[in-house]
Structure 1
Amino acid sequence: MKSYILNYKEVPITYYTNQNKDKETLLFLHAAFSSSKAFEEQFEYFKDNYNIILIDMPGHGETGPNKKRINFKSIEDIIHQILKQENVSSVHIIGVSLGSLVAQSFAYKYPDKVSSVVVIGGYSIHKDYQKVLKEQKKEQRRWMPAMLFSFNNKFKKNVVTQAAYTQEGIDKFLQSMSDFKFSTFMTMDGANSFFVDVQTPVRYPTLVMYGEHENEIALEAGKTFEAKEPNAEVVYVEGAGHCINLDQNDKFNIILGDWLKKHSEI
């Protein structure tokens, strides 16, 4: 994958693209603590039929932490500027975990730029999200000692075992978070700004994917999509945990590819 740079307020943001600009664009957004390396196999699978963009979000991958305090409060604008730099008018935006929240937030702020949204292991940022946020805060408190005193060992072990179910998925997630640093936590500020109550259904087609070994809170969130988003299709994938694309790469690519064919111009 060839990397490119967006100079955003004097901070270099790294992204990757195959420059297949006569095709529709797929934009992939990674999970927290991960990077675009998590989508290497998706890049190879879809690159001939789509224009692919992978972004290392602030504090992650090659983008890394920065002294300008560019964080997730700016992520929607960063995506918008990358699309402008690449002369891309609209995208199918695919996000895993934290990336799925960013995807929905971008679709809310720039609805004319989004053809569809794919949510992997995530939950709605518009409806019934309070319980999930409460549970996440509890989880963060449990992580705090490991973050402070055993960052490179216990903390990473906790993260990867929750992110993936199979040994292959765990190994891939570890590889994708190889550039993650303790200072990255400072750049993750701003994620709470994603949440906006919207009672009307979202206008864009939405594919929501959960692994069968996902945690109960996430699986419960899937019921919200099924009940309150008529434009959403919810799929459960056997043999996968949180990051389905890492645990069950082939199944993930086939499900995503088939769904895109129904919502693409190709």
Structure 2
Amino acid sequence: MICKTKDNQNLYYKIQGNIDSNETIVFLNGLTQSTDSWILMTPFFKEKYKIVLLDFIFQGQSDKDGKWRDFDTHAQDFKTVLDLEKLAHVNIVGISYGSLVAQHFAVAYPGYVKKLVLISTFANKTPYYEAIELSWWRALEVGGYNLMLDIMLPSVLSENYFSNPLVSISNLKNVRKDSDLSSESIFNLMRATKERKDFRKDLKRIQAETLVIQGERDMLFPVHLAEEVQQNIKHSKLIVIKNAGHTLNLEHVSEVSACINEFLD
């Protein structure tokens, strides 16, 4: 399905699961992910929840033209979907890039949020993160998405995943390469993070009960960054997944889903 944003862009979304349920859960993608990235997790929620999946502008099946968007604009786009479907007071699960959109959404539109789950998240950048961000940016400039993937995957998947992959690394790369993400689209997505200011003080305005889930071996956003997020949200708790990396909708899927279901219940 397509929703028109305020600037007339086509934002793709789909609804699945228990479409007659009064309980809604929305999943928000990571940087180069799409709605398909939740295929391993949605079975754990499909009986109880109406499930909403969407591609941000510059992702998946959404439009990829126009100027870059900051996280407030992504949050506004997300709101247009909820308004179109007449949904309010929803549960929101965002991973990485999607968790940042979720943070901004929860601050800007508190009445829409029942409970909030932030996976692989952060609120302030460190010099270490900025070095990784720069390496991705340079790889994209020099070798496009193919080179960026080669450099990115060791940062977002744990050592354990490389030894025991649920989806082989080669297949994972092929799926991502077939996702119709141009370098320009990724630059537009990455710029939102690059330009984002320290959001720790803003987190104090989040009213929803919040669960933060972080991988113990997340190289991109180490656990101490998630601890700072949790400490700045009043009604929140942190769960650290042992031996897990950054991409928790691909690693430790059943454990992460169980944590979310318990929290929502």
- Name the TM tier (shorter chain): 0.7 to 0.9
Map of 1:25-36 to 2, 5 A cutoff?
Answer: 25-36=24-35
Match of 2:238 among 223, 234, 258: 234
Deviates more, 1:47-56 or 1:7-16: 7-16
Q: Determine helix, strand or coil for the equivalent of 2:237.
A: strand
Partner of 2:76: 77
Partner of 1:94: 93
Partner of 2:154: 161
Q: CA RMSD in A?
A: 2.4
Structure 1 counterpart of 2:184, one-letter code: S
Alignment gaps of 5+ in structure 2: none
Match of 2:253 among 227, 249, 257: 249
In the aligned structure 1, how far is the partner of 2:172 from the partner of 2:36? 9
In the aligned structure 1, how far is the partner of 2:98 from the partner of 2:49? 20
Partner of 1:6: 3
Aligned-residue offset at 1:216: 7.5
Structure 2 counterpart of 1:11, one-letter code: Q
Partner of 1:178: 178
Match of 2:137 among 134, 144, 151: 144
Aligned-residue offset at 1:108: 0.4
In the aligned structure 2, how far is the partner of 1:176 from the partner of 1:33? 8
- TM-score normalized by structure 1? 0.84
In the aligned structure 1, how far is the partner of 2:207 from the partner of 2:240? 23
Map of 1:181-200 to 2, 5 A cutoff?
Answer: 181-188=182-189, 189-191=191-193, 192=195, 196=199, 197-198=201-202, 200=204
Aligned-residue offset at 1:210: 0.9
Q: Deviations over 1:203-244 (max 9, x none)?
A: 211111111211275311122244443411100112320011
Map of 1:117-136 to 2, 5 A cutoff?
Answer: 117-124=116-123, 129=124, 132-136=125-129
- TM-score normalized by structure 2? 0.84
Deviates more, 1:172-181 or 1:17-26: 172-181
Q: Tell whether the 8 Å contact from 1:122 to 1:218 is kept in structure 2 after alignment.
A: no
Match of 1:207 among 204, 208, 211: 211
Structure 2 counterpart of 1:46, one-letter code: F
Q: Determine helix, strand or coil for the equivalent of 1:53.
A: strand
Residue identity (%): 19
Structure 2 counterpart of 1:88, one-letter code: L
Structure 2 counterpart of 1:7, one-letter code: K
Q: Determine helix, strand or coil for the equivalent of 1:13.
A: strand
Aligned-residue offset at 1:117: 1.1
